[in-house]
């Protein structure tokens, strides 16, 4: 599936800047008059792909970090830490990269830059997914990112995080959940994504439906994606479509069509200079030739894939190709060559912690030993394969990464406790002042011949008790008979109302333009008649009006907020959860009595 993050795409980029370009960059830095200008020059250059080798990229990222700290600019420092993390990824130093991302996230959180906090959660999720194959933790950080985006109304980022979540579910074998998240991403991305992003998502859907053996849906989405790629003249996308079709035809044993698609994929990837795609197509052509019994051409394609993956430092791909070559050598009776390929794949798997592949390597050694009549070695490798298979989800997480998680989790807890203590001190102070004010007020009123302080306190207590009773229970509802007739108990009605309000207030579901009563009912595990009954009788309105009222309140906030003054009226409507200009205008007029334009003009 397509990787939408710059961080992981840099795993396969190793282009080196020419000496002339580096000298020119150094000259620009030497002539820059201020540190801020030097910082911006470096940042802009680092975000241009293919400009530097891994070591050069990491070196300039560290320079940017030093400048940002010298300037004392928190935003610059956080951005520099992100760049350092990307540099460490290029150098395959994933633990150091994760530490940089955690530090960047902390600085962004302190500055309340929630969009970037969500982005850093995504970057950390990418590392757990791609570098450590720890899918549960990857899902955890993607969910953290999604919550940040939803709570702060950052709908533009929901597309990518839903797509990434689907990718992890697909890798973990949860294709049904992957489809669910991809369809949600497709709905979210209808208005704020490019054609190519949409085509990538359609291709992802097609791949998952292929795994589910649903050829009709798979080909439907592939055709939609291919139409976009043809329209945009996008070679990499076309290559990916042909690669998927080639694998599909290969499983159906349509050899001629499979080879044709795979060769087209190789051609398109080559025109786009996508080395990762090139190596994938070369490897798959090798698999195809091996299955057809053409060992000579199979080895030729495998060697090409191995060379490409070695040049691009794709270590995981190298292990997979070496393993395939070992199996093919064993199949052809060249046992010494098979042992050599398996040994090399074993060393690389152990060095990089590729547990899923290590299991396959041990299985290969077991099979080879059995063919050679070495039954004791075959059983030993079989046990090693089983032990490796028992490891959690193939996770390659290291002790250092676990230490980072514990450190930052403890830091987060300490930060929350510190805020709680500060808030507790403030609350105690306010309560003390309130008590003092009540005493003074009671004395003044006593001197004026008003009711005694005791009566006031009793009256206040009764009012608070009454309010709490209304909030926590519905036992005094005048509609008891309606509940008895509908089958919905008063207790369940209270729980249902609390759950509905939680979804609206905490998760801010009203910001989703595709929100329906059915979707909310699915989240609350209830039916539409029960939820409608509770909303009508206890909120005094309909579901549609309640949601639109919340959206109008959000729109009012955006219209008068100085930070969002640059947003157009229609953009404000979309940000607030409306899916059309007319719907926004009607609802706003209904609840405020004026148009959005009149409201902004009046209140600013």
With a cut of 80, say whether residue 381 has pLDDT above it: yes
Q: Which of 354, 411, 375, 314 is nearest to 12 (CA)?
A: 314
Tell me if 181 sits within 8 A of 219, measured CB to CB.
no
Of 172, 201, 229, the domain-final residue? 172
Contacts of 67 (CB under 8 A, 6+ apart): 35, 38, 39, 42, 76, 80
In a domain, 419, yes or no: no
Tell me if 445 sits within 8 A of 453, measured CB to CB.
yes
Tell me if 262 sits within 8 A of 243, measured CB to CB.
yes
Please tell me the predicted confidence (pLDDT) of residue 392.
Answer: 36
With a cut of 90, say whether residue 190 has pLDDT above it: no
Q: CA 522 to CA 394: how far, in whole Å?
A: 33
Of 172, 194, 228, the domain-final residue? 172
Q: Residue 273 — pLDDT band, cuts 50, 70, 90? A: confident
Q: How many domains does the chain contain in total?
A: 2
Compute the average pLDDT of residues 282-290: 93
List, in sequence order, the alpha helices (H) in 72-174. 74-90, 94-110, 114-126, 135-151, 158-171
Highest mean pLDDT among 10-24, 44-58, 64-78, 341-355: 64-78
Q: CA 139 to CA 581: how far, in whole Å?
A: 35
Q: Which of 535, 537, 554, 556 is nearest to 545 (CA)?
A: 535
Tell me if 264 sits within 8 A of 242, measured CB to CB.
yes
With a cut of 70, say whether residue 43 has pLDDT above it: yes
Q: CA 83 to CA 90: how far, in whole Å?
A: 11
List, in sequence order, the alpha helices (H) in 127-253. 135-151, 158-171, 175-188, 195-211, 215-232, 235-251
Domain of 15, CATH number, reads 1.25.40.10
Q: Collect contacts of 358-362 with beta carbons under 8 A, ≥24 apart.
A: 358/388, 359/385, 359/388, 359/389, 360/323, 360/385, 361/319, 361/323, 362/388
Q: Which of 392, 506, 356, 412 is nearest to 137 (CA)?
A: 392
Please tell me the predicted confidence (pLDDT) of residue 426.
Answer: 72
Compute the average pLDDT of residues 558-573: 84
Compute the average pLDDT of residues 192-201: 87
Q: Which two tokens stand for residue 247?
A: 């694998």
Of 147, 172, 197, the domain-final residue? 172
Q: CA 582 to CA 570: how far, in whole Å?
A: 9
Tell me if 400 sits within 8 A of 361, measured CB to CB.
no
pLDDT per residue as tens digits for the range 464-477: 454 345 445 444 44
Q: Residue 8 — pLDDT band, cuts 50, 70, 90? A: very low
In a domain, 582, yes or no: yes
Helices (H) and strands (E) counted in the chain, each on its own, are: 30, 0
Please tell me the predicted confidence (pLDDT) of residue 103.
Answer: 94
Please tell me the predicted confidence (pLDDT) of residue 266.
Answer: 94
Tell me if 182 sits within 8 A of 4, measured CB to CB.
no
Q: CA 71 to CA 43: how far, in whole Å?
A: 15
pLDDT per residue as tens digits for the range 506-521: 888 888 888 889 888 8
Q: Which residues of 456-488 are buried (b: 16+ CB within 10 A; e: fewer)?
A: eeeeeeeeeeeeeeeeeebeebebeeebeeeeb
pLDDT per residue as tens digits for the range 311-321: 887 888 899 99
Where does residue 305 rank: exposed (0-12), middle (13-18), buried (19+ CB within 10 A)?
buried
Q: Residue 421 — pLDDT band, cuts 50, 70, 90? A: low
Q: Which of 263, 234, 231 is nearest to 250 (CA)?
A: 263
Compute the average pLDDT of residues 326-339: 93
Please tell me the predicted confidence (pLDDT) of residue 83.
Answer: 93
Q: CA 247 to CA 249: how far, in whole Å?
A: 6
In a domain, 597, yes or no: yes
In a domain, 113, yes or no: yes
Contacts of 558 (CB under 8 A, 6+ apart): 564, 567, 572, 575, 576
3-state SS class at 193: coil
Compute the average pLDDT of residues 437-447: 63
Domain of 565, CATH number, reads 1.10.10
Please tell me the predicted confidence (pLDDT) of residue 400.
Answer: 56
Compute the average pLDDT of residues 494-509: 83
Please tell me the predicted confidence (pLDDT) of residue 239.
Answer: 94
3-state SS class at 565: coil
Please tell me the predicted confidence (pLDDT) of residue 164.
Answer: 92
Q: Which two tokens stand for residue 554?
A: 């959000």
In a domain, 76, yes or no: yes
Q: How many residues does the chain have?
A: 604
List, in sequence order, the alpha helices (H) in 448-542. 453-472, 480-486, 490-505, 517-524, 528-538
Q: CA 312 to CA 274: how far, in whole Å?
A: 10
Please tell me the predicted confidence (pLDDT) of residue 252.
Answer: 83
Of 460 and 342, the one with more pLDDT: 342
Q: Residue 416 — pLDDT band, cuts 50, 70, 90? A: low
Q: CA 568 to CA 76: how far, in whole Å?
A: 29
Element (H, E) at 266: helix 255-272
Contacts of 522 (CB under 8 A, 6+ apart): none
Compute the average pLDDT of residues 256-270: 92
Compute the average pLDDT of residues 22-27: 80
In a domain, 441, yes or no: no
In a domain, 560, yes or no: yes
Please tell me the predicted confidence (pLDDT) of residue 443.
Answer: 63
Of 64 and 480, the one with more pLDDT: 64
pTM tops 0.75, yes or no: no
In a domain, 369, yes or no: no
Please tell me the predicted confidence (pLDDT) of residue 144.
Answer: 93
Cα-based distances in Å from 441 to 431, 434, 438:
15, 10, 5
Q: State the chain's mean pLDDT as an integer.
A: 81
Identify the domain containing residue 565 by its residue range: 541-603
């Amino acid at each position: 599936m397509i990787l939408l993050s710059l961080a992981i795409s840099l795993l396969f980029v190793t282009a080196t800047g020419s000496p002339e370009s580096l000298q020119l960059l150094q000259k620009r830095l030497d002539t820059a008059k201020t540190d801020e200008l030097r910082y911006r020059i470096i940042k802009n250059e680092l975000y241009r792909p293919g400009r530097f080798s891994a070591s050069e990229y990491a070196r300039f990222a560290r320079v940017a970090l030093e400048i940002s700290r010298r300037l004392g600019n928190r935003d610059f420092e956080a951005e520099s830490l992100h760049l350092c993390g990307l540099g460490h990824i290029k150098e395959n130093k994933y633990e150091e990269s994760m530490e940089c991302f955690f530090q960047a996230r902390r600085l962004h959180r302190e500055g309340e830059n929630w969009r970037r906090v969500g982005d850093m959660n995504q970057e950390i999720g990418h590392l757990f997914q791609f570098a450590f194959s720890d899918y549960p933790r990857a899902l955890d950080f993607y969910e953290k990112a999604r919550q940040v985006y939803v709570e702060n109304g950052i709908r533009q980022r929901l597309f990518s995080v839903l797509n990434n979540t689907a990718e992890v579910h697909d890798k973990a074998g949860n294709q049904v959940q992957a489809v669910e998240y991809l369809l949600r991403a497709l709905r979210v991305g209808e208005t704020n994504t490019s054609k190519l992003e949409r085509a990538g998502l359609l291709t992802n859907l097609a791949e998952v439906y292929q795994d589910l053996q649903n050829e009709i849906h798979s080909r439907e989405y592939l055709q939609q994606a291919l139409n976009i790629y043809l329209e945009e003249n996008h070679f990499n996308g076309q290559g990916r479509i042909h690669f998927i079709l080639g694998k599909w035809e290969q499983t159906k044993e349509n050899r001629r069509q499979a080879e044709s698609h795979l060769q087209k994929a190789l051609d398109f990837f080559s025109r786009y200079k996508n080395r990762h795609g090139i190596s994938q197509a070369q490897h798959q052509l090798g698999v195809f030739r091996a299955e057809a019994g053409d060992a000579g051409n199979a080895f030729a394609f495998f060697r090409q894939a191995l060379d490409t993956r070695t040049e691009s430092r794709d270590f995981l791909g190298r292990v997979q190709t070496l393993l395939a070559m070992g199996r093919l050598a064993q199949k052809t009776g060249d046992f010494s060559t098979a042992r050599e390929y398996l040994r090399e794949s074993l060393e690389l798997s152990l060095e990089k912690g590729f547990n899923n592949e290590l299991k396959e390597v041990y299985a290969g050694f077991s099979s080879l030993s059995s063919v050679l009549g070495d039954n004791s070695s075959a059983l030993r490798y079989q046990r090693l394969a089983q032990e490796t298979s028992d490891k959690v989800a193939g996770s390659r997480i290291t002790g250092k990464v676990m230490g980072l998680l514990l450190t930052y989790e403890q830091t987060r807890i300490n930060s929350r406790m510190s805020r709680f203590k500060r808030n507790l001190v403030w609350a105690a102070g306010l309560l003390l002042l309130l008590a003092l004010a009540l005493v003074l007020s009671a004395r003044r009123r006593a001197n004026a011949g008003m009711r005694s302080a005791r009566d006031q306190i009793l009256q206040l207590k009764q009012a608070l008790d009454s309010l709490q009773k209304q909030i926590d229970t519905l036992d005094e509802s005048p509609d008891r008979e309606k509940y008895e007739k509908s089958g919905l108990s008063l207790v369940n009605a209270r729980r249902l109302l609390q759950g509905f309000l939680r979804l609206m207030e905490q998760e801010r579901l009203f910001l989703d333009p595709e929100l329906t009563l059915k979707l909310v009912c699915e989240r609350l595990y209830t039916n539409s008649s029960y939820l409608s009954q509770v909303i009508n009788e206890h909120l005094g309105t309909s579901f549609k009006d309640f949601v639109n009222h919340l959206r109008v309140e959000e729109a009012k906030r955006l219209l008068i907020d100085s930070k969002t003054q640059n947003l157009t009226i229609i953009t404000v409507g979309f940000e607030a959860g409306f899916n059309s200009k007319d719907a926004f205008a009607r609802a706003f007029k209904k609840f405020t009595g004026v148009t959005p334009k009149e409201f902004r003009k009046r209140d600013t």
